[in-house]
Every structure is written in structure tokens, then in C-alpha cells.
């Protein structure tokens, strides 16, 4: 049974991402069941929910990897994302970071960011193209943002798991996306790395809209942002972490796992 929407839909023009009544079925199973989610420009939103709630499918719909059977998906008020392919959507400024880091291990931290700047160019060409001073400044600024300036000449393969995640966030930042979708950034991190990642996302959020999917409640608490709880492909609750954690429906869903 579809859960009725918690709030009336806002005006599309007031949103950066507008998902209204989005349904995705796999052989009759609804991974998203009339999902409605509205993100305002400049906000950071945490998305939580038990396994199979539809978090990954939601990100697949936004990035064009999966087409919904029904519902509206708009970016910036009037760009219909259901009509665009993944490359077009990425070029619009919707960047995604998957859970597993995919940095170039045999290249330096600096060269990984250089490769990210070059975008679609072939890897070999990209390593030998000459940087302008603005491009070098930009790489250095991102290196400082992700706390890897001191490590810039180290091979990416020698970084800790947490540092690799930060490098990959840095690679995403080189493309200067308007919105970043970040999948479980704190997974597998030490407590110190988790705390540093929360600070990093807050810093990134100063200039970019961020949607972060995460299971680690300590991390979500450190972010201190509005939380949306997904369950069976719909929004179950929304609000501060304290508010949703006190919600009886949310408690039942998590205890019933
Ligand atoms: N390609 C697919 N074919 C069939 N079923 C799918 C497919 N992709 C996802 N599903 C199902 O849809 C539901 C939602 O999956 P999804 O991966 O979006 O959940 P999730 O909230 O990201 O879960 P997790 O926290 O485990 O990553 C699950 O029951 C999953 O098995």
C-alpha cells in the first residue's frame, strides 16, 4: 500500500530536485512506491532507511541510470531528468559518488585530481596536458578542502580507506557539480575519519547542495541536517534526526529488520 505523502508538493520552481510520485518496478516489485522528495538549492539532506528501502534506486533515478515507470523527476525546476541520459545529467551538474572508492591507485593524489579535471579525455593524454595556473590553483584548493595537500605527491594506492574516500570526493569537486549525491561515505571508516568526513561534507555544503545516504547514525548526527527516512520505496518520516528517531513508525521499521 502506498504511504500518503507527508507534505504537499512545493512549487517545482522552488526546488533544485523535485521527485513527485515516482514509482520504479522490477518485475512487479516496487523498489520505489510513489516516492516524493523535494530538495532545495543549498541544502544538505541525509537519507536513511533499512536495507532495500529504495535509497540506491532513488539515486539511480536522479542520475538517469534507472527510468521510473511513473512520476515526475525535475532538476532546477524545469529540466525533466526522465528524458535525459546519464552523461547529460552528469553534465548538468549532478555528481555521484559511489560507496566504493575508484581512484587511480598507481597515480599520485595530485594526478588523480588532474585526471578528474580533464574529464572525458583519455588517461594517457590527460596526464601530460599542461595545467594553466588557474587549473593548478583549483587543484590545490580542492587538495586543501579534502585535507590531502600534504599527501599530494603520494600514490593514491598508499592512502588509507578514509583518505581514498576524500580523494574521490575531491575528484567529484573538480567537476564543480551543483549537487553531489554521496553514498555511504563513512562506511568502513574509523571514528576519527567519520568525524572528519562529516566536517568535510559540511564544508562542501557551503557551495554545493548535498544528498547523503548513510547508515551510520553517529555520522548523520554529526551532519546535523534534515533527515528523510525511506521505507519500502516511500518516505516514512522527515525532520531532525531526534524527531525521526522518536517516531514510532521509524522505530518499528528499524526494530523489525
Ligand atoms: N535491478 C533490480 N532488479 C530487481 N530488484 C531490484 C533491482 N534493484 C533493486 N531491486 C530491489 O529493490 C529494492 C530497493 O533496493 P535499493 O538497492 O534501492 O535499496 P537500498 O535502500 O539502497 O538498500 P541498501 O541499504 O541495502 O543499499 C530491494 O528490495 C532490491 O532488492
ipTM of the complex: 0.94
Reported as a pLDDT band with limits 50, 70 and 90, residue 130 is confident
Environment class of 146 (CB within 10 Å of its CB; exposed 0-12, middle 13-18, buried 19+): buried
Q: Best mutation site among 22, 25, 26 for ligand 1, i.e. most ligand atoms within 8 A of its Cβ?
A: 26
The arrangement of strands across the sheet holding 179-183 comes to 94-97, 179-183, 209-213, 44-48, 226-231, 234-239
15-29 pLDDT, tens digit per residue, is 999 999 999 999 989
Domains of the chain: 13-93+178-256 (3.40.50.300), 100-176 (no CATH)
Cα(121) to centroid(ligand 1), Å: 33
Confidence check: pLDDT of 124 > 80: no
Contact of 220 with 214, CB cutoff 8 Å? yes
User: Of ligand 1's atoms, which has the minimum distance to the CA of residue 215?
Assistant: 25
177-221 pLDDT, tens digit per residue, is 999 999 999 988 999 999 999 999 999 999 999 999 998 888 999
On average, the pLDDT of the chain sits at: 91
Cell 596526464 sits on residue? 127
Cα(31) to centroid(ligand 1), Å: 6
Pocket of ligand 1 (CB under 6 A): 26, 29, 31, 49, 51-57
CA R_g for the chain: 19
Q: What is the pLDDT of residue 31?
A: 96
Confidence check: pLDDT of 3 > 70: no
Cell 504511504 sits on residue? 3
Cα(96) to centroid(ligand 1), Å: 18
Confidence check: pLDDT of 100 > 80: no
| The model's pTM | 0.91
Contact of 82 with 68, CB cutoff 8 Å? yes
Cα(179) to centroid(ligand 1), Å: 23
Cα dihedral sign, 132-168-241-1: positive
Mean pLDDT, residues 139-151 = 96
Confidence check: pLDDT of 128 > 90: no
Nearest partner of 232 among 98, 35, 28, judged by Cα: 35
Beta strand 226-231 with 234-239 is: antiparallel
Q: How far apart are CA 44 and CA 242, in angstroms?
A: 17
Query: Using CA positions, which residue lies closest to atom 4 of ligand 1?
Result: 26
Cα(53) to centroid(ligand 1), Å: 7
Query: Using CA positions, which residue lies closest to atom 8 of ligand 1?
Result: 57
Amino acid at each position: 500500500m502506498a504511504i500518503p505523502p507527508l507534505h504537499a508538493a512545493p512549487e517545482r520552481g522552488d526546488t533544485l530536485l523535485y521527485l513527485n510520485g515516482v514509482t520504479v518496478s522490477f518485475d512487479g516489485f516496487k523498489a520505489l512506491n510513489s516516492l516524493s522528495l523535494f530538495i532545495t538549492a543549498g541544502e544538505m539532506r541525509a537519507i536513511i532507511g533499512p536495507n532495500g528501502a529504495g535509497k540506491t534506486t532513488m539515486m539511480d533515478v536522479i542520475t538517469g541510470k534507472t527510468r521510473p515507470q511513473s512520476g515526475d523527476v525535475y532538476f532546477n525546476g524545469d529540466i525533466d531528468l526522465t528524458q535525459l541520459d546519464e552523461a547529460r545529467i552528469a553534465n548538468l551538474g549532478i555528481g555521484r559518488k559511489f560507496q566504493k572508492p575508484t581512484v587511480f591507485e598507481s597515480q599520485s593524489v595530485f594526478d588523480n585530481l588532474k585526471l578528474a579535471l580533464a574529464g572525458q579525455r583519455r588517461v594517457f593524454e590527460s596526464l601530460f596536458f599542461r595545467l594553466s595556473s588557474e587549473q593548478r590553483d583549483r587543484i590545490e584548493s580542492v587538495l586543501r578542502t579534502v585535507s590531502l595537500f600534504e599527501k599530494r605527491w603520494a600514490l593514491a594506492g598508499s592512502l588509507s580507506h578514509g583518505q581514498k574516500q576524500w580523494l574521490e570526493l575531491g575528484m567529484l569537486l573538480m567537476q564543480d557539480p551543483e549537487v553531489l549525491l554521496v553514498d555511504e561515505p563513512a562506511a568502513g571508516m574509523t571514528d576519527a575519519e567519520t568525524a572528519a568526513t562529516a566536517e568535510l561534507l559540511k564544508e562542501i555544503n557551503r557551495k554545493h547542495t548535498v544528498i547523503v545516504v548513510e547508515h551510520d547514525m553517529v555520522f548523520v548526527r554529526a551532519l546535523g541536517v534534515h533527515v528523510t527516512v525511506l521505507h519500502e520505496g516511500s518516505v516514512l518520516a522527515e525532520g531532525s534526526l531526534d524527531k525521526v528517531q522518536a517516531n514510532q513508525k521509524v522505530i518499528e521499521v528499524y526494530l523489525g529488520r
